Structure 1
Amino acid sequence: MAAFSIIGREGSVPVHVWAKTLDDKSREQLLNTASLPFVFHHVAAMPDVHAGLGATIGSVIATEGAVIPSAVGVDIGCGMRLARLNFRRGDLDDRAVRAVYEAILRHVPVGMTERRPDAVRHDRTEPFEEGMKSLLDRHPELLERMVSMTWQSQLGSLGAGNHFIELTSDADGVVRVMLHSGSRGVGNVMASRFIGIAREKALGGKVRLPDPALAWFDEGTDDFNDYMDAVNWAQAYAKINREIMMEDVMAAVREVMPWAEISSDEPVVDCHHNYVARETHYGRDVWVTRKGAVHAGRGELGIIPGSMGAASYLVEGLGSEESFMSSAHGAGRTMSRTQAKKVFTVADLKRETAGVVCRHDPGVLDEIPSAYKSIDEVMAQQADLVRPVTVFKQFLCVKG
């Protein structure tokens, strides 16, 4: 018996849905995506699926000869990084946890903040200089949109929204650092510009779209090539961004525990969940866009975080071809950020994050656990996609 259900429209590829429930907007978006002429074989919808901008968050879209910029989204390369440390939860008392929290805030720029000019990591930005220059030569308008920030000073910063840095512990008390971030403002600028170009050309052409946000670039065109250059640049930037943050978090931890190190007992895991890559599926070379989904090849380690205050999972992929070797990327929202801020109070947030050192203010109400699906239900619905390796829960959470 298949672990997924199938929905579809006549003349479109089917949609394989791992979620037990699917809201009307997500259903419509998935069917719209599946109707595009270049979508290959089927669309896969993960258990954490929820409505996005045009393309559905938690969807996996294989395409031939085209890519959809808005399906990749505005946080190109957003993803997770996880590292096991060499000590246990019991080694940190409450005062030490609070001290680590404050130290992280000193070491890692969060929210809309950037690094001071004297703190820019030029040794890490240098490899990106040539690629950025090439993009700006072809698209000088990008520079105008980046006046208020510099990509160099944002490298190694967290950002806002659902991005976070957490210290977690598992059933044995083993401590891990887990962080979630992407390509920051520069990725947003690039993505927004190319999404705009695709939409402008679609509206000015003869192609009828079910949703203007699903405008695409045809492979082989200058726009396609420029967009893929930008995507590859931003995906590499996002990974280095997480790498630097992990280094800085460790420096913060060592202010309190000088002996702290990343353990060699477990590999450091880093995975994108908003990206596009060239892959082979069903015997064909295709472009695979994962919009809120993790690559889950057989034996491959991945990270699936729960909401703030809930458990998270280190998983091993099972290599399901039906999901294009993919899995959910998290719990998935049950309501919009705006709705969450209307429905819940700071008192609700404090209750739902009891035992976690974190922010308790209106600015993070939209991240309350009740605004997300149950991560345990998500995991149960994708038992054919990944195998849990370790379950852990945060005791410290830094939000932007």
Structure 2
Amino acid sequence: MENKRINGNDLMALGYKENHAMGVALKINKKRLGFSRDEMLANFKNVLENPESYVADKIFRPLAEVLLNIDSMARETIALKESPVSYTVYGEAQIEEGAKKQMDIAMTLPITVAGALMPDAHQGYGLPIGGVLATQNAIIPYGVGVDIGCRMALSVFDLPASYLEANHDKLKEILMSNTRFGAGKGYLKQERMDHAVLDNPLFKTHALIRSLKDKAWTQLGSSGGGNHFVEFGIMEFTEKDESLGVERGRYLALLSHSGSRGLGATIADHYTKLAKAICRLPYQAQNLAYLDLHTEEGQEYWLAMNLAGDYASACHEVIHEKIKRGLGAGLLAKIENHHNFAWKEQFEGEEVIVHRKGATPAGKDTMGIIPGSMATPGFLVRGKGEELAINSASHGAGRLMSRTQAIKTLADSDLKQMLRDHGITLLGAGMDEAPMAYKDIHTVMAAQVDLVDVVATFSPKIVRMADDGSRED
């Protein structure tokens, strides 16, 4: 086909190697610049064979310069381990090859100590989503992820499940009045809430973060696009949970999922670029560029990452408090956990940095929340502290298909029927978030019975998501 995109395999067929020259060529190809596919391939072949002839060319000059300096670049590149460190994969049959390949590359980093792949894993940037990686005194911005500190927060109210059906319209209005969704969306100045997180000294001492304070204040208490949500549902405890003090029964509950908004995304972008400039890795590993925690840059990112995590938590706190006030209800339990983060933890007797990109902390007796989708159950879980999983579990069901594939192949009528069958009211969202775009949550949970115990089940009933097609997740 004339406009079929050129990929790495096409370039390797011309003689390119999997290195930085290939990356530059693919960037040039994205623009296409009026060339047909065949013409572009012919140009790439000519540049490879005669780079000197293209050093003054406006379009192909960056590629020619890389090709002419590829040997010196290779000498400056940090060497990877000859073979990946072994790691455990949970639910391997349901995990795409691209995610496994990304994890294999991560396990060859010179800083890698251990890793694990969760059953909801799928391909991302650098570390796969669902990837857990323990490193020696180094942190990988893309190993944390773009939405730093993205988290789940659950409030179980002292209201019976029957309250939801009897007060459906009221609950819908409470959600609509007390939440705001979408990439870049926030609150007007007169609507903004205050929170102690905005008093963090980094907002005064760190130039980048200082420039983001107004955005952080604007977006405090809001949610992103993509798979972020705030939803009312039914929480069912089949027996009393002693540690939470919640009796057996079915209760009204509120579940939310979102992260650090524009603050976290800007921090992630800045430090990923900085890491790539400092840490020169081979082409296939470049998105795993890391910062040594002994360096000023590493310490800066560590502090910024923790601030973004605190900010994400504050956003959920504001949302849950506003909705609790709207309900006029009391709390039986409040549970929160985050992913897209890095922690200092002990592993086999030594301190390591554990990156959980789309993975839930599941240390011994650690509480966590693993959602399904807008029409499938989520689970309140207690970790078992499995060391092979680096004390982790999945952060959800995990995508079965890409957003683009979901939009192209799934039928709106099928989604509406599914929502009717499960008695769910959906406020916002698009076909890219349809339940059919996700793996079966029961299959995912079955693959991690060694990692967590299920404490209670959450069934979504009134779901609010972004309705503007934004993809911030």
TM-score norm. by structure 1 comes to: 0.88
Q: CA contact under 8 A between 1:125 and 1:152: conserved in structure 2?
A: no
Question: Following TM superposition, by how much is the alpha carbon of 1:208 offset from its aligned partner in structure 2, in angstroms?
Answer: 2.6
Matched residue, 1:110: 181
Residues of 1 paired with 2:177 and 2:462: CA distance? Answer: 15
Which of 220, 227, 243 is the aligned partner of 1:162?
Answer: 227
Residues of 1 paired with 2:297 and 2:418: CA distance? Answer: 46
Matched residue, 1:178: 255
Q: Does 1:221 align with 2:298?
A: no
Question: Following TM superposition, by how much is the alpha carbon of 1:61 offset from its aligned partner in structure 2, in angstroms?
Answer: 0.4
Q: How does 1:1-400 map to 2 (within 5 A)?
A: 11-21=83-93, 22-40=95-113, 42-93=114-165, 96-112=167-183, 113-128=185-200, 130-136=201-207, 139=208, 143=211, 150-171=215-236, 172-202=249-279, 205=280, 207-252=281-326, 254=327, 258=328, 260-263=329-332, 267-354=333-420, 355-359=423-427, 363-400=429-466
Q: Secondary structure at the match of 1:192?
A: helix
Letter in 2 for 1:191: A
Letter in 2 for 1:329: H
Residues of 2 paired with 1:168 and 1:100: CA distance? Answer: 10
Question: Following TM superposition, by how much is the alpha carbon of 1:359 offset from its aligned partner in structure 2, in angstroms?
Answer: 3.1
Matched residue, 1:5: none
Question: Following TM superposition, by how much is the alpha carbon of 1:50 offset from its aligned partner in structure 2, in angstroms?
Answer: 0.5
Q: CA contact under 8 A between 1:298 and 1:317: conserved in structure 2?
A: yes
Q: Deviations over 1:289-314 (max 9, x none)?
A: 10011111111111000011001100
Identity, in percent, stands at 34
Residues of 1 paired with 2:216 and 2:417: CA distance? Answer: 38
In structure 2, the CA distance between the partners of 1:279 and 1:237, relative to structure 1 (3 Å rule), is same
Structure with max Cα Rg: 2
Q: CA contact under 8 A between 1:17 and 1:47: conserved in structure 2?
A: yes
Letter in 2 for 1:88: P
Residues of 1 paired with 2:400 and 2:256: CA distance? Answer: 22
In structure 2, the CA distance between the partners of 1:217 and 1:106, relative to structure 1 (3 Å rule), is same
Letter in 1 for 2:107: A
- Report which stretch shifted further, 110-119 or 26-35: 110-119
Q: Secondary structure at the match of 2:330?
A: coil
Count of residue pairs the alignment pairs up: 370
Residues of 2 paired with 1:302 and 1:356: CA distance? Answer: 24
Residues of 2 paired with 1:384 and 1:10: CA distance? Answer: 31
TM-score norm. by structure 2 comes to: 0.75
Question: Structure 2: which 5+ runs fail to align?
Answer: 1-80, 237-248, 467-473
Q: CA contact under 8 A between 1:76 and 1:274: conserved in structure 2?
A: yes
Structure of greater relative contact order (alpha carbons < 8 Å, 6+ residues apart): 1
Q: Secondary structure at the match of 1:242?
A: helix
